[in-house]
Amino acid sequence: MTNNIKEPGTIIQSRPAFDYAQGNGVYKTKDVFAMPFETRNHGTMYRQFTFGTIAGHARLEGKSEIDAIARCMHLAEAEPWSGHKLAWAFANGVSLTAGKREHKIICAQAWGDVIELDGSRYELARASNNNVKLIPV
């Protein structure tokens, strides 16, 4: 998860299990990233998300990216209520553990940042329920 860090000295926030560092804005499917949110008692905190694209998953599974994109676009048109998207970011779950865990560095972005995901550019926008919406640029 350290592949998107500009340089080791760009830590934004340090926590016992994670350090949050400024991401360089270039990601691929299954990369984890964090987005800021404000709390009343603890100031700025970060939520973790995982990126995904139809093309990226097809590539990981050894399938045709073009066929996967065409199928997704067809389903999005035929069944607009079903939520077929070419790119997404989903929230990661949180768990508390008593045991020691590997300390990880997670890349963080800001709202409104333009990122590159699997070769396409998207703006990171707020969505309902503290989610992230990827707007094609």
Per-residue pLDDT of the chain (137 residues), as tens digits, is 445 554 544 888 888 788 999 999 999 999 999 999 988 998 898 999 999 999 999 999 999 999 999 999 999 888 888 778 899 999 998 877 778 888 889 999 999 999 999 999 999 999 998 899 999 99
Write down the domain spans for the chain: 11-136
Per DSSP (E only), the strands in 15-130 are: 18-22, 26-27, 32-39, 43-53, 87-91, 104-108, 114-117, 120-127
Q: Considering the entire predicted model, what is its pTM?
A: 0.84
Q: Hey, how many other C-beta atoms are within 10 angstroms of the C-beta on 35?
A: 20
> Would you say 45 and 37 are in contact if contact means Cβ atoms under 8 Å apart?
yes
Q: Say how far apart CA 124 and CA 135 lie, in whole Å.
A: 7
